[in-house]
Structure 1
């Protein structure tokens, strides 16, 4: 479902030029959840933003659903992969009612008015249909993130890109959101790329994990290695020790 070859991302020019992602390659199968873990600033979110079409500074090759995508995406290419951001309050317009937040993707992509799909989209993420009339500040953090997930699904993408989707939430609601994401993946046969610094979240959700350091992948762990805490690189070992102390 996702094929990335020699992806590099740089910002700035001249002496100020900084390479954030350095020639990474990976593949994600249909229905699989790939995790990317590493410390802040290592390039995890930049990889996601490149996949989503939000960042256009990338070089290399990206293929989604078997088709190459460009830096300037067509509507059809944009619909393939949608993103759920870290902060559900910051990613939702504070002055728009939830119904407008959810209808906007369909209207922007000209796939219908979107209004008729608001109630079903709320219900599929475990929220009452009457939440459509509310503003974001009237919802809890967990409810706002459910709205963000519902919005990402409005265009019926095959891929969800999850950027620390539970790190801004209380511990008590993190598991609920992760379980919702797991259920949606099974129901819709979705493919996920999940970025997190929390190895317990990665271990719960992911089939494989890539460990990122300074813009490159230094390790790859499958589900069995994750569960046993087995690593193949000193940096991965440090991450595990720091996470589970």
Structure 2
């Protein structure tokens, strides 16, 4: 079953192949949906400091009859954090909110503040190195079993790699059918950085695509299932998000293989 399968990070840590996303989930929905997902076999939950739902995700983890050691938890330091000291404050606050002594994966949420995404500034490199040092220390001190980044392009990654004692193990970026040709994925995979794909359904943008629908019908699957399986075939870890029980279950039913001809067709979209 796909929920029992893992990728291996460069430091040997096993990370479940499908994550459960909580972006844009209200605290109430985050608790309910996370608990339902964990009760139904999910083992990997993704949240962030700025989502405003870490406490609720943490409560869900506490309330399920599943050992903490069997649950992989990810959180993220805010993109706006620009000093080592503030990053350490964020990390400690996230652990407090989650009621955990460590997370399994800790990421820098973005290389620059959201208002400037796509508009690099010379100070971003210095800021990212400082924040990365905090992640390295959290990793050293056992507050995180693995560390990485999110929304980093190739130049942002090179800056960290060139100045790091511990290289990023993960880069979480937007990934969906028709949006994999930026070069960042190839760079990550060549440098043993696992790619996690958020918004794997293009925030709903691919749900009416007729070509994907035809392929889905061939396998007697849904468009979301094909989209998630497509990422897995690319060795990308998908992070589907839903607050609806039906879709939470459906998104985990990925034990099929897309034939090469169908992968080739999806690559062209």
Q: TM-score, normalised by structure 2?
A: 0.40
TM-score after normalising by structure 1? 0.43
The structure that is helix-richer by fraction is 2
Structure richer in strand, relative to its length: 1
